[in-house]
Structure 1
Amino acid sequence: METSGGIRASLAGRYASALFDLARDQKQIESVGKSLDALNQALVDSKDFSELVESPLVSRDEAGKAFGAIALQLNLDPITSNFVGVLARNGRKSQLQPVIRAFRRLAAEHRGETIAEVVTARPLNDDQLAQLKTQLRTRAGRDVNVDATVDPTILGGIVVKLESQRIDASIRTKLNRLAQAMKG
Structure 2
Amino acid sequence: MAKPSAKRYALALYELALEGSTVDSWHGQLKSCEEILNNQEFAGFLLMPKVSLSKKMAVLSHILPDLDEMVGNLISLLVSRDSAGSISSIVTEYGRLLDEQNGLERAHVRSAVELDESSKKSLVDQISNIVGKKIELTAEVDPTIVGGLVARVGDKIIDGSIKTKLQGLRKSLVEASLGEES
TM range (shorter): 0.5 to 0.7
Residue 160 of structure 1 pairs with residue 149 of structure 2:
no
Aligned match for 2:104, one of 111, 114, 117? 114
Counterparts of 1:63 and 1:49, CA distance in 2: 19
Aligned match for 1:89, one of 62, 66, 80? 80
Q: Which residue in the other structure is 1:33 paired with?
A: 27
Q: Which residue in the other structure is 1:19 paired with?
A: 13
- Structure 1: which amino acid aligns with 2:16? L
Counterparts of 2:76 and 2:22, CA distance in 1: 18
Residue 77 of structure 1 pairs with residue 67 of structure 2:
yes
TM-score with structure 2 length normalisation?
0.60
**Identity percentage of aligned residues:** 17
Residue 101 of structure 1 pairs with residue 97 of structure 2:
no
Counterparts of 1:38 and 1:73, CA distance in 2: 10
Long gaps (5+) in structure 1: 1-6
Structure 2 counterparts to residues 124-139 of structure 1, below 5 A: 131=121, 133-139=124-130
Instruction: Determine if contact 1:63/1:88 at 8 Å carries over to the other structure.
Output: no
SS in 1 for 2:105: strand
- Structure 2: which amino acid aligns with 1:27? S
> Quick one: structure 1 residues 116 and 61, their matched pair in 2 at CA, closer, same or farther if it must change by over 3 Å?
farther
Aligned length: 164
Q: What is the Cα deviation at residue 19 of structure 1?
A: 1.0
Aligned-residue CA RMSD (Å): 4.7
Long gaps (5+) in structure 2: 176-182
Counterparts of 2:105 and 2:4, CA distance in 1: 18
Counterparts of 2:132 and 2:58, CA distance in 1: 41
> Quick one: structure 1 residues 19 and 145, their matched pair in 2 at CA, closer, same or farther if it must change by over 3 Å?
farther
Q: Which residue in the other structure is 1:4 paired with?
A: none
Counterparts of 2:52 and 2:130, CA distance in 1: 42
Instruction: Determine if contact 2:47/2:82 at 8 Å carries over to the other structure.
Output: no
- Structure 1: which amino acid aligns with 2:14? F
Instruction: Determine if contact 1:120/1:149 at 8 Å carries over to the other structure.
Output: yes
- Structure 1: which amino acid aligns with 2:130? R
Q: Which of 1 and 2 has greater Rg?
A: 2
Instruction: Determine if contact 2:124/2:135 at 8 Å carries over to the other structure.
Output: yes
> Quick one: structure 1 residues 165 and 69, their matched pair in 2 at CA, closer, same or farther if it must change by over 3 Å?
same
Q: Which residue in the other structure is 2:180 paired with?
A: none
Q: What is the Cα deviation at residue 119 of structure 1?
A: 6.9
Counterparts of 2:49 and 2:15, CA distance in 1: 25
Counterparts of 1:169 and 1:52, CA distance in 2: 43
Q: What is the Cα deviation at residue 35 of structure 1?
A: 1.7
